[in-house]
Amino acid sequence: MKGRTIVLDHIENREAAALMVDGKLDDFLIATDAPAPGTIYRARADRPVKGQGGMFLTTPDGPAFLRQVKGLAPGAQLLVQVTGYAEPGKALPVTDRVLFKSRYAIVTPDAPGLNISRSIRDEDERDRLLEIAHESMEGSEFGLILRSCCQGENAAEIAEDIGTMRAHADQVLNDPGTEPEQLLEGDGPHVLAWRDWTDPAEVVTQPGSFETHGVLDALDVALGISEPLPGGGYLFVQPTRALVAVDVNTGADTSLAAGTKANFACAKMLARALRVRGLGGQITLDLAPMPKKDRRGFEASLRAAFKADSIETTLAGWTPLGHYELQRKRGRIPLSEVLK
- For every residue of 128-151, DSSP letters joined together read HHHHHHHHHHTT---EEEE-GGGT
| Mean pLDDT calculated for residue range 18-37 | 95
The answer to pTM > 0.85 is yes
What pLDDT, on a 0 to 100 scale, did the predictor assign at position 247?
97
Confidence band of 1 (pLDDT split at 50, 70, 90): low
* Per-residue model confidence (pLDDT) at position 317: 96
Give the model's pLDDT for residue 204: 97
Per-residue pLDDT, 201: 96
Taking residues 299-321, what's their average pLDDT?
94
Q: What is the pLDDT of residue 232?
A: 85
Q: What is the pLDDT of residue 42?
A: 98
Quick check: 309 pLDDT over 70?
yes
- The pLDDT assigned to 261 comes to 95
Q: Is pLDDT of 135 > 90? A: yes
Q: Which of 186, 185, 216 is closest to 10 using CA atoms?
A: 216
Strand order in the sheet with 114-116: 100-101, 105-108, 143-146, 114-116
pLDDT at 142 over 70: yes
Once rounded to an integer, what is the mean pLDDT over residues 246-262? 92
3-state helix, strand, coil in the chain (%, to 5): 30, 30, 40
- What does the pLDDT read at residue 2? 77
pLDDT tens column, 149-164: 999 999 999 999 999 9
- H-run or E-run covering 59: strand 54-59
Give pLDDT tens digits for 192-208: 999 999 999 999 999 99
pLDDT at 51 over 80: no
pLDDT band for position 105 (cuts 50, 70, 90): very high
pLDDT-derived band at 180, boundaries 50, 70, 90: very high
The answer to whether residues 210 and 34 touch, using CB atoms and an 8 Å cutoff, is no
Structure confidence at residue 53 (pLDDT): 77
Give 70-74 contacts, CB < 8 A, sequence gap 24+: 72/45, 72/48, 73/45, 74/45, 74/46, 74/47, 74/48
Whole-number pLDDT of residue 252: 87
| Residue 100 pLDDT exceeds 90 | yes
Q: What is the mean pLDDT of residues 265-289?
A: 96
pLDDT in tens, 53-76: 799 999 999 999 999 888 888 999
